[in-house]
Chain A
C-alpha cells in the first residue's frame, strides 16, 4: 500500500454528488472542503452529526484533510453521545442544524459546534495527500459490556474497501453511476456506499431524503442512468409493496439484515434488475457479496482473508487494517473464497441495521429503579422478519410496564425498546441463577395473561 493516498483521485470535472437538480463536481466539492477545513478548530476528533448527506461528506473530507479523526455514530441517544464525549474529551461537533435525529437539547458539546454548510464559492481546490496508516474514522458498536466499542479505520483501509466494492459492483467508470441510498450516512453501510464511494469510484451520491417509497422512486427518476438503489430489506419490502414504478436500475444493493429470497425474487421481477447483497459489519466494513436469488453462498471481496479462531469464531483480515477482527456471525467455509452464514453468535441482536448485545440491554433494564429482575427476549423470527421487535419480562412490583418503558427511553436506541413489557412475579432462573435458552423459550410461548 502506498504511503499516502489523495483525498480523491477523480478528475475535477467529474460529478460526485447530486443535490436535487444541482450536480456537484469534484472541483466544486474540493473548494467547499478547503473552506470548511480552514474553519475547523485545532482538535483531534470530530463528531459528525450532519443530517444532510452532502454536509456529512464535507465534514468527513475536511476533518481528514486536517488530520482529525471523524467519529461516526448511528446511535444518537443521549447516553451514547455522552459516552462518546467522555471517551474523547477533545472532540468537537459538526452539525448542519438540518432535519433528522439530533441529540436532545441539553447536550453540552453541541454548544460551540461547527456549522457545516456548502460555501459554493469556488470550482477547484487541493486534493490533499493523506497518510494511508492514519486513522480516518472511528465507528462504534455496543460491546458486550455495554460500553461503546471503538473501531478505528485507517485511511488506507477505507480507500482499499471502497475500491474493492467498486470493482465488485462495476463502479469503475468512465460512466458515473448514480447512487440513491435509503441508509443514513452515519451508518457504516451508508457511510461506505455514499460518503467514501464518490471519493474513489466513478459514482455520484444523491442527497435525499429517501425514506418513504415515493421519495425513493422520485430520487431514482431524478438521476440519469446508470442508477443503483442502495437500501435495506425493510425499505425494499415497503417500496415493493407501494407499487411505485421505478426507472431502469443497473442493480439494487441490500444490506444490514439477511434478505429473504422471496423478497429478492419479487424485487428482481418487478424492477427487472439484479438484487445484490452486501455482508459486512461496523468493525470491518463490507467484506462480501452475493446475488440473493442464486443461493446462500457469499463471495469475499478481493483482499479479504478469513481464518478460523477456535470452534465457531472467525478472524477477518482487511487490507490496511492493523490487526484481524473477530466476526460477529458464525460461518461455514466453502471453496473459492466463499462461505455460508450460520447465523449470529449468541447474545447479539440486530434491528434496523443496528446491533446490540442482549447482555448490555439487560444490564440497562436492571438499572431501572424498581426493577428487581428482568430480561430482554428476542422473538424467534428476528432474523427474517424485518418488523420484528424485542420484548421484556420484568419483576417490578409497584411499577407499570409504561413506567419501565419510559425509564428505558434515552438509555436504549428506539429500535431496541421492547414492543411489550410483561410483568411477572419471578423469572424462571435455574439453580445457579441462569436463564437458560430453554426457559426463555418456554416463557415466550406462554400466553401473556398467564405470564402476568
Chain B
C-alpha cells in the first residue's frame, strides 16, 4: 500500500468515526466531494473534522486553506493536506 493510499484510508476512518457516519471508510469515494453533492457534509461536520484532525495530527485547519487549496474538495485532497501539515 502506498503512503498516499494509507493516509487516505486513515483519514476516511477518522471522518467516519468523528461524524458517526453509517458507512465504512472504504465506501468513501476518494475523489468525490466531501461537501454538497458527494458525501453531503456541512459546516458542523467541518468543525468536527477540524477537531479530530487537530487531536490526531497535531495541526489546525483554517478557512484560508479551505478557500485556496480546497482541501475539503475530496478525501484525496484532505488526506494530502493532512500529510503535508501533520506534526505528529
Contact = CB atoms under 8 A, between A and B. Distances in A.
Contact of B43 (A243, A244, A415): A415
B47 A415 contact: no
Contact of A212 (B36, B40, B55, B60): B60
B83 to A, nearest CB: 19
A408 to B, nearest CB: 10
A178 to B, nearest CB: 20
Q: Dominant SS at the B interface?
A: helix
Interface stretch (A39-47, A112-120, A234-242, A362-370): A234-242
Contacts of B54: 213, 241-243
Contacts of A397: none
A215 to B, nearest CB: 6
B62 interface: yes
Contact of A387 (B36, B48, B55, B64): B48
A415 B50 contact: no
A214 B62 contact: yes
A44 B78 CA distance: 45
A387 B22 CA distance: 15
B44 interface: yes
B62 A235 contact: no
Contacts of B37: 406, 409
A384 to B, nearest CB: 15
B61 interface: yes
A417 B44 contact: no
A414 interface: yes
Contacts of B51: 213, 238, 241-242
Contacts of B47: 211-212, 234-235, 238
Interface in A204-225: 209, 211-215
A396 B63 CA distance: 39
B84 interface: no
B54 to A, nearest CB: 5
A99 interface: yes
A74 to B, nearest CB: 12
B50 A99 contact: no
A209 B63 contact: yes
Contacts of A211: 43, 46-47, 63
A231 to B, nearest CB: 11
Nearest to B47: A238
Interface string A340-375: 000000000001100000000000000000000000
B62 A414 contact: no
Contacts of A420: 22
Contacts of B43: 211, 352, 414-415
A213 B50 contact: yes
Contacts of A351: 44
Contacts of A131: none
Contacts of A352: 42-44
A405 B50 CA distance: 25
Nearest to B21: A419
Contacts of B60: 212-214, 242, 244
Interface in B28-61: 36-37, 40, 42-44, 46-48, 50-51, 54-55, 60-61
B61 A417 contact: no
A213 B50 CA distance: 8
A212 B42 contact: no
Contacts of A149: none
Nearest to A242: B54
A419 B64 CA distance: 27
Interface in A238-253: 238, 241-244
Contacts of A234: 44, 47
Contact of A415 (B36, B42, B61): B42
A448 interface: yes
Contact of B50 (A238, A243, A419): A238
Interface string A13-34: 0000000000000000000000
Nearest to B60: A214
Interface in B1-46: 19, 22, 36-37, 40, 42-44, 46
Interface string A369-389: 000000000000000001101
A212 B48 contact: no
Nearest to B45: A387
B61 to A, nearest CB: 5
Interface in A399-451: 405-406, 409, 414-415, 417, 419-420, 448
5 contacts: A213-B51, A214-B61, A242-B54, A414-B36, A414-B42
Interface of B: 19, 22, 36-37, 40, 42-44, 46-48, 50-51, 54-55, 60-64, 67
